[in-house]
């Protein structure tokens, strides 16, 4: 089955001293989305960025801004990120008191909505809210810090989600994206795609591979990722 692949560099790995330039360059290099990780030091043991940063980069690019909320409680921040320019908002089912209502809130704010599954989170959370899902995000590391190694067991979980999404599309005709975040790099992105993913978050693998000799700094690494995806 032919799928359109999307590469979503995570700006947590970018140079924040020139964040606007980094966003412009990585999109000009051929990336599709900007992935935006929000951590609150409660749900995960790290503190990152909020709506003001999202608002600051919104004028820099027309690309999709993909906000991953690792916060609890989650509902309070959703309207703020929607107003700041987010296009996609995903959250962890464990962080919501009412998953269906949180998904509906995201959509009511004009954004695409999705659920995020940690390595140990069961997939059953998605079974009864498929009609409100636009994207499913599988964490291939335990969230909180960048630079971790991809967990191979994620490939089996990807196959399980892909089976659910394909069955749902057969019944409804509606596509739900399948995104992977954590340890994605040049030498494993093809295997991840073969397991069913169509959207790939890559942080240090992209922003850590910039070259001053590239026209937009990240042309070489994005091209290398695309070349691997072309083999699928």
Annotated catalytic residue 214:
no
Rounded distance, CA 133 to CA 106, Å? 10
Rounded distance, CA 133 to CA 204, Å? 28
Q: Give, for 6, the enclosing helix (H) or strand (E).
A: strand 6-9
> Which residue in 32, 66, 134, 181 is the catalytic one?
181
- Contact of 209 with 225, CB cutoff 8 Å: no
> Which residue in 37, 40, 198, 219 is the catalytic one?
37
Annotated catalytic residue 37:
yes
- Contact of 165 with 1, CB cutoff 8 Å: no
Rounded distance, CA 188 to CA 71, Å? 29
On the CB side of 7, CA atoms within 13 Å amount to 29
- Contact of 49 with 14, CB cutoff 8 Å: no
* Catalytic machinery residues: 37, 181
């Amino acid at each position: 089955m032919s799928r359109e692949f999307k590469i979503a560099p995570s700006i947590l790995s970018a140079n924040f001293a020139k964040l606007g330039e980094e966003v412009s360059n990585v999109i000009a290099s051929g990336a599709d989305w900007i992935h935006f990780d929000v951590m609150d030091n409660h749900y995960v043991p790290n503190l990152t960025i909020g709506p003001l940063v999202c608002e600051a980069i919104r004028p820099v690019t027309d690309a999709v801004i993909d906000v991953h909320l690792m916060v609890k409680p989650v509902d309070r921040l959703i309207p703020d990120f929607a107003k700041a320019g987010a296009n996609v908002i995903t959250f962890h089912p464990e962080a919501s008191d009412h998953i269906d209502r949180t998904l509906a809130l995201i959509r009511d704010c004009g954004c695409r909505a999705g659920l995020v599954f940690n390595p140990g989170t069961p997939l059953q959370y998605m079974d009864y809210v498929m009609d409100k899902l636009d994207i499913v995000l599988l964490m291939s590391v335990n969230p909180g810090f960048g630079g971790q190694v991809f967990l191979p067991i994620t490939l089996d979980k990807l196959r399980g989600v892909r089976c659910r999404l394909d069955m749902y599309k057969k019944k409804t005709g509606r596509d739900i994206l399948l995104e992977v975040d954590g340890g994605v790099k040049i030498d494993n992105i093809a295997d991840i795609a073969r397991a069913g993913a169509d959207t790939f978050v890559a942080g240090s693998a992209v922003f850590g591979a910039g070259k001053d000799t590239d026209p937009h700094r990240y042309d070489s690494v994005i091209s290398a990722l695309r070349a691997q995806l072309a083999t699928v």
